[in-house]
Amino acid sequence: MASYDALRAEFEAFAAEQIAPFADEWDRNGAVPESAIRAMAEAGFLGLSIPEEFGGRGLDQRGVMLLNMAVGEACSSMRSLLTVHLALVSETIARWGTPEQKTRLLPDLASGRKIAAFALSEPLTGSDAKNVHTRYVRDGDRYRLTGRKKWTTFGQRADLFLVVADGEEGVCAFLLDRSKAGKSLLLGPLDGMLGTRASLVAEMEMSGCAVDERDVLGRRGLGFLQIVNTALDNGRFSVAAGCVGIARAALRAAAQHANTREQFGSKLRDFQLIRRRAAAIALDARTAALLCEDAAALRDGGSPKAIMRTAMAKYHASAAANRAADHAVQIHGALGCHESSPVQRYFRDARVMEIIEGSTEMQELLIGEQAIKNPDLIID
């Protein structure tokens, strides 16, 4: 494996050349183009952490972190593809899929020939994720799914959906192939998002979508406990690292503006109140990165502490990205409120990060419960 420095250089060069120059345009258009998704696939990013035997690059979580940081700095909409396709679905199949599922599905996912999305949220189900209303029923050696999913990131583009549904065997996770669903699956664009506007968010309506028995992921009845929890843990890590990218982008933009803009006959950098904001962004960017590095090391070491430290990283990094983007907008003044500056995009994208993959409030409950029960688990 290449050194982490070499990986970081590779990821940052890709993001600087192939993503960042176009991110504002994609945001305005409400879609990342197919050519950009292909470029991510050709670089091997869509299978970065998938084992090499299934066509991935076989990198560890530290590598995943570096990629999310680099792409997140350039464009949170594109970075969201890494969360849903790689973290939520592909890594979860790699962890809990049957040998047949891994052999059949992972090569296409790792190469990006197929794009995956995660269908958990519903019109009436958000943080109370166990309470899914989408239902499945047995139909011979198949299952049929009926219900509505909402806020499905990259759902407009996805070929494969990990759908969570409830039924007589308890909550199950299903791998729904779009090409086989026909008219039983209706997908509509969900435009008008505040942030990550280019991430091709969809609404789904399933009317008896057929899924083969072999496409149940994980144990029947453990769809939430086993699959959703694994997926969201992977997703939280991806989002946390992406938030470091937003904070870094905010810092670079703020520094660039403070070094060039003049008011009252001086550069903004000479005003102490501007420096205070710059210091706040710098601290948030760095502390968020350190918590991500901590989580990455625990995840790569197979530590049971990894889940909690990942939640802590996500909690802090998403709030840090919001604060950083807020400071960057304020330093930019009116320019920061206009689409000609990317800081308004950072501000809108950061806001989404405190909601997805477990809201800030859900992370607080989780971390707080653990902190009271066993402070050592948090401290050590």
Partner 1 sequence: MTANDNDQLKSDIRDYFKSNMGKDARFADGDDIFADGLVNSLFALQLVTFLEDSFKITVENDDLDLQNFRSVDAIADFVGRKRNNSAA
| Binding status of residue 372 toward partner 1 by CB under 8 A | yes
Q: Which amino acid is at 327?
A: H
Q: Whole-number minimum distance, CB 24 to partner 1, in Å?
A: 38
18 or 92: CB nearest partner 1: 92
Is residue 371 a contact point for partner 1 (CB under 8 A)? Answer: no
In whole angstroms, how close is the CB of 211 to partner 1 at the nearest point?
Answer: 17
How far, CA to CA in Å, does 29 sit from each of 52, 158, 203, 298?
A: 36, 19, 19, 39
Count residues binding partner 1 (CB under 8 A). Answer: 28
Report, in Å, the least distance between residue 96 CB and partner 1: 6
Q: Using CB under 8 A as the criterion, what x/- string covers residues 148-177 for binding partner 1?
A: ------------------------------
R_g (Cα) of the chain, nearest Å? 21
Closest to partner 1 by CB, 339 or 364:
364
- Nearest alpha-carbon partner for 306 in 233, 227, 218: 233
C-alpha atoms less than 13 angstroms from C-alpha of 164 in its C-beta half-sphere: 30
Q: Which is nearer to partner 1, 38 or 373 (CB)?
A: 373
Q: How far is the CB of 170 from partner 1 (least distance, A)?
A: 11
> What track of x and - describes contact with partner 1 for positions 198 through 237 (by CB under 8 A)?
--------------------xx--x-xxx--xx--x----
Which residue number, 297 or 366, has a Cβ lying nearer to partner 1? Answer: 366
Whether 321 contacts 101, CB under 8 Å: no
Q: Which is nearer to partner 1, 63 or 218 (CB)?
A: 218
Whole-number minimum distance, CB 370 to partner 1, in Å? Answer: 8
The residues annotated with a catalytic role in the active site are 357
Residue of the chain from 28, 38, 113, 130 that contacts partner 1 (CB under 8 A): 130
CB atoms within 10 A of CB 45: 26
Question: What are the Cα distances from residue 101, in Å, to 92, 97, 140, 265?
Answer: 11, 6, 20, 65
Please report how close the Cβ of residue 231 comes to partner 1 at its closest, in angstroms. 11
Binding-site string for partner 1 from residue 258 to residue 297, where x marks contact by CB under 8 A and - marks none: ----------------------------------------
Q: Which is nearer to partner 1, 90 or 230 (CB)?
A: 230
Considering only 19-27, 185-193, 268-276, 362-370, which stretch makes contact with partner 1 by CB under 8 A? 362-370
In the window 308-337, what residues touch partner 1 (CB under 8 A)? Answer: 308
Among 207, 287, 359, 370, binds partner 1 (CB under 8 A): 370
Complete edge-to-edge strand list for the sheet that includes strand 142-152: 135-139, 142-152, 202-212, 185-189
369 binds partner 1 (CB under 8 A): yes
Angstrom distance (rounded) from CA 167 to CA 214: 17
Q: Give the one residue of 14, 22, 26, 96 binding partner 1; rule: CB under 8 A.
A: 96
CB of 305 to partner 1, least distance (A): 8
Amino acid occupying residue 370: Q
List residues binding partner 1 (CB under 8 A): 96-98, 130, 218-219, 222, 224-226, 229-230, 233, 301-304, 306-308, 366, 369-370, 372-374, 376-377
